[in-house]
Every structure is written in structure tokens, then in C-alpha cells.
Structure 1
């Protein structure tokens, strides 16, 4: 029997501070001042959370700026440049780049993730096989869910459908779509809903990734979700068109998505980088107002999307940073608004990818310690976690930075010049 006790931690919406007893990977007790001989872990008043959940990322095409660039800065330019580079991907190459991203994410407190993986005749199942290896090799720290999708189209790319079915048969968890790259978007949507029902998997679409509110594919997704009785099993990502809607039309979209049980994922770093390239002043932000949908009960998440590639040429996998970026873009500042942003990188994405966790007796001992009093503070200050645990085993730690004042250096035997 393996036991440890985490001393002096805060739980969300819980007073006073408590100790948490962990036994065989599960939470055995939560009480102030637990009497136990279990191995102690210092909580130091940290906020304990089940951890961050990355609901939308692309491990297979991360960290490729050394081989391709987005010369136009547009979405089309990003797709084209990655498409050309993808022809040179190998399984080991994808694995090594994906591992770099997972290591970054883990130390930032992420312990569950949905990654999208491109499938088409050009790349075949190379990326999928590499990410399946990552899923196995990093299971000690992170639950990895794989969503396979046709980035470059389905009906216009013969053989892609068969490859998607092979991936689903071999362990892919979710089926994705990208209607805006297909010559027949509505046909792609219908085919993917049919495939999802056959394999009994959720759907996650890249959708409406531009700023023209005159047309969209959201309505067809909602129609098919109801027709296939797939409410609660469909997510859509980007949906930058929503940022271009006036309040009345935005309210109609909220109602549409609620009725169809569709979740919304916003990717602030990518959406800001790619949208509005045709403007030379008053450039639109292009980030969908997820907080409006969240307030009305729609499952909404904020995620990273890409790291160091032509879609997003930066990123450290910090979801508190991404939540902070979203808050900045939409000018959110109250405690309630920032708590909502925190929810969109923790609890809400946990529900979306079916990895909900709670801090309660009998639950899995998987959580992260944040040196903060509240989730709102974690978002406002982009707080980095102190340590994390997966099923009762410490998965990472990062000691707090220390200031080295002159007297501290003198006490350690260093010479210090004084002004």
C-alpha cells in the first residue's frame, strides 16, 4: 500500500486549508490536520486543482519553423507550407517533436489533452502511429486523446476516408473535420457524422475560420448533430466568424449551439495571428467571444492549437497564459470573469474530452499545485504550477525562483560590490 499526505493546501471553494491523503493512486481522505504516518508532501498553502486540460493541439506538426514558414501570414499560407513540409515527416520525427511539446505541457500543469492528427494519402498513418507511441509513453503524466481529421479535404482527396476508418479501427479516439478546405463542405460534414456513428466516437471540427459573417458551416453542423442524435458529442474550433457578429446574431448562435449540444473551442494565439491580414488599420481581433457562450451554459474551452509552426510561431504550452491572452482580448477583468477563463482551461475542457476529474474521496489522485489563492489569480498573474501528480505519483516539480539580495550572497560567501 503506497501512501502520502499533502499538507496544507487550498481546494477551490473550500475553507479552511486541508490535508489530502493519497493511497494507491486515489484520494483516501481530505481533512484539516490529518493524523497519519504517510510520507508528507508540502502543500505550502497552494491551490490544488485537478489540472489543466488542453482541448485542441496539433502534436504532429509542432516545432517545424526550421523547415517551413508562412510567407503570407494567412490561413491558406499556413496550410500550404505545412502541407509541403508534411511530405518529409517520418514517424520518429513526429514523435520527437511531439515529445518536446508534451514535456512543455506537463511542466505547465497539463495532465489531459486532445491532439488533432492529420490523415491523408500524402502522410498516411505516419503521424497517427507516432502519436499513438506518445500516448503510451507519456501515460505516466498525461492522458492523451487522439482526434484524426482530414486537414486538406475529404471528398476532394480520394483515399482519405479509408485512412480515417483505419485509424479509428486502430485506436483513434475522436473524428475531426475541416469543411472549409473541402470542395463539398456539406458532403464532408455528412460523411463524418455517418462515420462517427458507425464507430461511436465524438466529433471535433475546425470550422468557419475567417471573418465573413455572410456564410458559415455552423448551421449545417447543428442540423446534422440533431439529425444524427449526436448532441453533446460535437465540438467546433476556431469559429472566428463568431467574432464578426453583432449582438443579436451572436445571441441566435448561442441558442443554436445550446439546442444542438455543440461545444466551442477558441484558439486565441492562432486566431489573433492569422485573422485580419487584409486590414492595414483597426485590425479585427478575430477571437470568438467564448465567455458569452460560457455564461449561457455552452461548454467552452480555450486552447493552444499550435506551437512553433506556420499557424502559430510561438508558444510555451501554458494554459494560464492562453486564458490570460483570451481575457486581454475580450477585456475581462472581474474575479468572476477570470474564474470563467480558468474554468475554460480546466473543468470545461475536462468535460469536453471526457476526462472530468474532481477533488473528492475515492477520486483519482491527479492534480496540480498552483501558488495562488484562486483560479482568477492564476489567470491574472499567469501562475506557473509548483508540482503535479498523476494517480498518486509526482510527475513534475519546479522550485520557486529565489531573489538573491546582497546580504543573501554575502551569507553564501560571495563577494558583493556596493555602490
Structure 2
């Protein structure tokens, strides 16, 4: 074999295991592997898990907070400030900042990311083109799914429908949408579904991002998903409005989401920052109801969304920081709840992104992270060092290299 991890913890209910890697795949998982390898890594009881999956991120808007600040902290100002800034961003600038973010993701143990890349008539395809280039340039370090994302809407912008088509022709992996930021949310949703069916692609909506529930369209999205036979192929990010729905109405919506196989990306860093800005007291958390969605059988994930810009003026790209934020914010700190959080960074987003070769099992891609902690149940709590990160069996980062990652 190429690599064997000796005496690693893959499951708290099992003894220490050996994990063998050959030709970029996991070749064996057993208490003892008799074979030898070119590189044998003594795990010393440390935890080995499949790589983290960053399910919702904006690369080209990262690390621009110092250029245009969101003074009010509101969503409306974040959108306005970013719209002013985007036409000034050059390819070289986006390439440099996005590469910095990707380096951080790899160092932090993420082996996959879904990147929402924006375009519109005012900025053209500058951002999308760079993210598509990064997908190819760094494919040996991290897999990037590129979402064609119309942040400024589709119907209200002349020529934007044609740009959506062109984005798919350029090679975008996923059709994005943002129904709440267009003149007709229903027509917006219909257009996205039609385009996705035309290209045979999955769908990812920025969905119902508001403090209240008056203008939700998630039920329409779910019914449309079922009608179009798109079960398991639709993700939604934010979905904060659902938290404002009374339990007797919320429960059937969650059941509808389960039937439609819609995955939900909770984005706590952004949504806590922007939400409930109009509340004078007893300020709401304005997060999608993670526990209710989880308990209702919906595939719920945690993701970063933005890093140091008008939407989120902080962040590092480390998903464990997002998970620690979610523990108190989403009431996930109880012992039984904590046990479900790690999957929201790994297997759940892998399911959402339909990563068929993901997981710590024989035959899967050797996308692995060795962590400096002795119990899987302590991963979120310890914020352990990422001792080693593998991408398809190749070491792409080690703890000693955190200041000089491989690429």
C-alpha cells in the first residue's frame, strides 16, 4: 500500500483501527493490516475522519471588508455595498484572495467546497471565470463545485437570463438562484428549474433569508422539486424564515422538505450577524430551525457562507469554528445533540453535494483528516490541530506546514 495509518480512532464504539490507502483510494479498514506501506503513520489513538465538506461559500467576495464596510450590519446594506464593490474587482485580485481562502480550507481539513460564483451585467463573468480556473488549478488539493449564482436577480436585469445560460456553457456545475431578490420569486424558481433540467445539473437556492415568514417560497420549491423529479438534487441556504413559522405550520413544511429530499445549509456566522437587526429587545437568533429539521429527517448541514466581507465581517474558513458557533446558537450543546454535529460538516454535506466517492470505507476516495484528539465525540469541542490532510491519497497539508501549505 501507499500509506497505512496505524492505531487510529474512526469510531468511538470500535477499537483502534488501521486504515490503508492505495492509488488514491481507501484499500483496507481493519484492527490490524498485515501489509506494509511506503509510508506508515502512527496514529497513537488520534481520530481519523473523512475530510470536511464546505457546502456553501463565496470565494470571490472573501477578505474585502476593509474596502467597503457594512456600517449598519443589515442585509440590505450588505447587498448594496457588495453591488458597488463587485465591478471594481479584477481577476488578479479575486485570484489572490480566493487562493488564500482555499489554502485555509485545505489546512483546516476541507477536501470539498461548493462555491457560489456571482456574475451580472455590471461585473460580467470576472468572478465566475476565476472560480472555474481555480477548480482546475487546485483539483489535486480540493474539489470545487461551482454554482452559477445570480446575486442581483435574474428577471430584473436585462440580459441576465442569457448570462445564466452562458454560465452553464462555461462549465458551472450547479444552477444557483435567489428568489427573494427578484421581481417574481416564482418565475425565478421556475427559470432555475428549467435551466437545471436543460443541462442536467443540480440546484442550489439562497432561500427565504428574512427574519419573518410572510414571503416564504420554500413550499413552492419543495413541490416543484417533487413535480420535476428532482428529489435529492436541490439545496437551500439560509432558510431563516422557517424559524418564524409556528410549530403547527412548520412541521408539515419540514415533512415536505423531507419528501423532496431537499438539503438545508445553516449559515450561522452570517445569519446571526445580519438577522434581527430591527429587534429592539429579546433579539431573535434568526437561524433555520436546525434541530426541528434534523429530527424531521431533513439533511441539515453547517457551512461558512462568507468570510470577512459586508455579509460576514469575520471568519477563517475553518468549519470547526462554525460548528462551535452552532452549538449554543442552535441549541446543539446537549450530549445527544452534540453527537449529531460532526455529520453536519462531513457526511450530510457530502450527501447534499452528491459526493458518491466520499466516506471512510473501502473503495472510497482517500480524502482524510488526522486530528489531534482521541475521541470522535470531542472533535467539535477540542478544535484539534489538523495533523495531516489527504486528498485522494496525497498529503496536501500537515500541521507543521500550516504556514506553508503544499500549493
Which TM-score band (shorter chain)?
over 0.9
Match of 1:296 in 2: 296
Match of 1:408 in 2: none
Structure 1 residue 290: Cα displacement: 1.7
Structure 1 residue 260: Cα displacement: 2.3
1:270 and 2:273 are equivalent in the alignment: no
Match of 1:9 in 2: 8
CA distance in 2, matches of 1:32, 1:149: 46
Match of 2:151 in 1: 151
Match of 1:379 in 2: 380
Aligned counterparts, 1:319-338, within 5 A: 319-338=319-338
CA contact (8 A) 2:46 2:375 kept: no
CA distance in 1, matches of 2:64, 2:147: 20
Aligned counterparts, 1:20-419, within 5 A: 20-38=19-37, 39-356=39-356, 357-399=358-400
CA contact (8 A) 2:12 2:376 kept: no
Any idea what the Cα deviations from partners look like across 1:212-262, whole Å, max 9, x if unmatched?
123311122122212222121111110111222232222122112112221
CA distance in 2, matches of 1:319, 1:394: 20
Match of 2:305, SS?
Answer: coil
Any idea what the Cα deviations from partners look like across 1:21-55, whole Å, max 9, x if unmatched?
22221222222333334221221211111110000
CA distance in 2, matches of 1:151, 1:353: 20
Match of 2:264, SS?
Answer: strand
Any idea what the Cα deviations from partners look like across 1:313-350, whole Å, max 9, x if unmatched?
00011111111211111222233311211111110000
Match of 1:388, SS?
Answer: strand
Match of 2:195, SS?
Answer: helix
CA contact (8 A) 1:235 1:262 kept: yes
CA contact (8 A) 2:373 2:382 kept: no
Structure 1 residue 199: Cα displacement: 0.6
Structure 1 residue 13: Cα displacement: 5.2
CA distance in 2, matches of 1:125, 1:62: 17
Match of 1:340, SS?
Answer: coil
Kindly tell me: are residues 11 and 212 of structure 1, through their superposed partners in 2, closer, same or farther at Cα, counting changes over 3 Å? same
CA distance in 2, matches of 1:121, 1:106: 33
Kindly tell me: are residues 261 and 33 of structure 1, through their superposed partners in 2, closer, same or farther at Cα, counting changes over 3 Å? closer
Consecutive unaligned residues in structure 1, runs of 5 or more: 402-419
Structure with larger Rg: 1
CA distance in 2, matches of 1:201, 1:270: 27
CA distance in 2, matches of 1:275, 1:183: 22
Kindly tell me: are residues 291 and 384 of structure 1, through their superposed partners in 2, closer, same or farther at Cα, counting changes over 3 Å? farther
CA contact (8 A) 2:12 2:377 kept: no
Structure 1 residue 352: Cα displacement: 0.6
Consecutive unaligned residues in structure 2, runs of 5 or more: 403-407
CA contact (8 A) 2:6 2:44 kept: yes
CA distance in 2, matches of 1:400, 1:334: 35
CA contact (8 A) 2:264 2:301 kept: yes
CA distance in 1, matches of 2:384, 2:143: 22
CA distance in 1, matches of 2:255, 2:19: 41
Query: 112-121 or 29-38, which moves further after superposition?
Result: 29-38
Match of 1:417 in 2: none
CA contact (8 A) 1:62 1:309 kept: yes
CA distance in 1, matches of 2:86, 2:141: 28
CA distance in 2, matches of 1:340, 1:46: 20
CA contact (8 A) 1:10 1:45 kept: yes
RMSD: 1.7
CA distance in 1, matches of 2:354, 2:223: 23
Match of 1:113, SS?
Answer: strand
TM-score, length of structure 2 as denominator length: 0.94
Match of 2:405 in 1: none
Match of 2:206, SS?
Answer: strand
